[in-house]
Chain A
């Protein structure tokens, strides 16, 4: 079956970029030296993530994570780490708000603005808005990151 099956019906949420980052995350590592860390926990499905951040002044110099969870949460964590690297803290928080809107609604009111470029990289995750129970998988790593930036230790998904 798999020889001729192109899985078209399965790809709206699980696009190639998500499968790829879910399978081979580039930033899935604990940082040896870091300035902040926080955990995120989704007790409903057992997803757990920890995020480490190294600053360079006001910017996020390096972000690493360890995640145990579904393909969506691992891919989201990896795309997040990739996208926020080098970004100012305030910028990162704004990006989270815009991403959360995209994940919840599929709409991207900020896509034409200053965050257009990072949001475009995160756009493959926008498909989760059709699966309300999965939105939290995509946003959990971000909650952990924002908790680290705010100096709190734990975040749980909304």
Chain B
């Protein structure tokens, strides 16, 4: 694909000008930030939205009768509309704000896991989950005797669909909880097919879209899934706010998780009644400024458009796979057909932490470690990998810098 003539291609230099941090130098070198999958940088629009709210219209939401509170409520609730539109939710009430993806999955494990699933049923995850989509289900297993099943990953780093389907055969699986895009392998899972198969066996489906929603258009109605979670800070928004989307009827059937202010209809010592969804799941003062910031981030992403985002990511990934293949002794972990802009690798016998530190010396930021996915590391016989991941502001030249930097690290250790 020739990026220069691709009508969907974005003007990356213009994009970069929107991100103030990208002008920083690190250890005397120009910053090459290749760790967006851990957390993305923030555009000026997000920074300004949050600062502006604090400087001109800040108050608590949902309860004040005064001008400031009404304006802040309007701004904050605007994020719910933006998130609903981003995912093509049927209704804004299907958007529940949480602290992050982890918070959303824990909410689900409590309210759906303990409130709806029954002992003897099972939750089915994949072998490439982040710890945040493993541990809440282990806690549920220990608490309620709900089985935890794991669908294996192939050597290429893809979901083993035959094994996945076999694990659903006994109809005990009440919920499939799976990544939409691996934070280690970059694998994009076949979401539509997963939903079809799971629904055919009576299981609901949750996707962890923390990585996927950064790069791909997510349409929850087209996917036909039941739950979808993601986090704001990877989508160029602030930390501290995430989203649980669920079908309204499921949210209505689920008991609340946190109790407190904002989530009630009325309270007496004998009995309390719950607010309508989504507020039933949003106890306490929410992440107001973060919501306002996330609204700006969603607007920013929508203005660029997912066609351009996906084309940019595909072009970067293709370039990275080609360039990294020229680095002697480098091995990429994960060869999925459908993959996104996250590339994990090992470099000869060099430990991933040494690789990351020596890249950092050259101004290049990558992640190294087990990436909160220890079982997946063990699946590939590894303790750790280094990982480069891309964002809307990543350039081909930065990937070249990574490849050149890795050749130097390799020669340094040779």
Contact = CB atoms under 8 A, between A and B. Distances in A.
B358 A10 contact: yes
Nearest to A74: B351
Interface stretch (A1-9, A28-36, A144-152): A1-9
Contacts of A12: 361
Residue among B350, B404, B412 with the highest chain A CB neighbour number at 10 A: B412
B353 interface: yes
Contact of B357 (A2, A5, A13, A69): A13
Nearest to B362: A9
Contacts of A70: 351-354
Contact of B383 (A68, A133, A134, A137): A68
Residue among B352, B354, B370, B414 with the highest chain A CB neighbour number at 10 A: B354
Given A10-B408, A19-B413, A46 B361 contact: no
B304 to A, nearest CB: 33
A137 B341 CA distance: 30
A45 B412 contact: no
Interface residues of A, number: 24
A134 B408 contact: no
B111 to A, nearest CB: 30
Contacts of B351: 69-71
A7 B408 CA distance: 8
Interface in B321-374: 350-354, 357-358, 360-362, 368-370
Residue among B360, B377, B413 with the highest chain A CB neighbour number at 10 A: B413
Interface in A1-53: 1-2, 5, 7, 9-10, 12-14, 19, 23, 44-47
B411 interface: yes
A2 to B, nearest CB: 4
B358 A14 contact: yes
A135 B124 CA distance: 39
A45 B384 contact: yes
A19 B349 CA distance: 13
Nearest to B353: A70
A133 B413 CA distance: 21
Interface string A48-76: 00000000000000000000111110000
A45 B383 contact: yes
Nearest to B351: A70
Contacts of A47: 383
Given A5-B411, A133-B353, 11 more contacts: A1-B411, A2-B408, A2-B411, A5-B408, A9-B362, A10-B409, A10-B412, A13-B357, A46-B370, A46-B377, A68-B383
16 contacts: A1-B404, A2-B411, A5-B408, A5-B411, A10-B358, A10-B412, A45-B352, A45-B368, A45-B370, A47-B383, A68-B383, A70-B352, A70-B354, A71-B354, A131-B360, A134-B357
Closest 7 pairs (CB-CB, A-B): A46-B383, A70-B351, A2-B411, A70-B353, A70-B354, A71-B354, A7-B412
Interface of A: 1-2, 5, 7, 9-10, 12-14, 19, 23, 44-47, 68-72, 131, 133-134, 137
